[in-house]
Amino acid sequence: MTLEQIARHLRHANAVARRAAGMGRHPFGALLVAPDGETVLAEQGNIDTVNHAESTLARHAAGTYPGAYLRECTLVTTFEPCAMCAGTIYWAGIGRVVYGASEEALLALTGSHEENPTLSLPCREVFARGQRSVEVIGPVPPLEGEMVETHKGFWATR
């Protein structure tokens, strides 16, 4: 993926996150992008505390597309996938993850909020324990502020 494609897809995922927040859900969004780096195959906002945007999208992808195809796809998400989502992405067979903002940035926003107790376990570390590689691109500093902005004020009102 080019930097222009990454930026466009992260902004699209952030629009999905804002839509989720508008429905009273946590403001996270994810996209599944085809091997061409252009085509968005699916998008998903957060549903609840156990049905995150990334894990829900990865389960859908695993049931829809063959493994060889998913190895060439990219899951684009607003924030670094948590350990649960990273595991689901791995088992779904998705070959690349792009995220806009880090888990540390999320922790700075949520603190000890009971609806989002973050895990200090980077997705790269989860993927490194697997038998197949998952390429990770992120955080993306030029866009991290946009991802964070979507969350400002959200956690204080919960």
So which residues are the catalytic ones? 54
Which residues, 6+ apart, have CB-to-CB distance to 47 below 8 Å? 25, 53, 56
Whole-angstrom distance, CA of residue 34 vs CA of residue 45: 18
Cα Rg for the chain, rounded, in angstroms?
14
**CA 8 to chain centroid:** 15
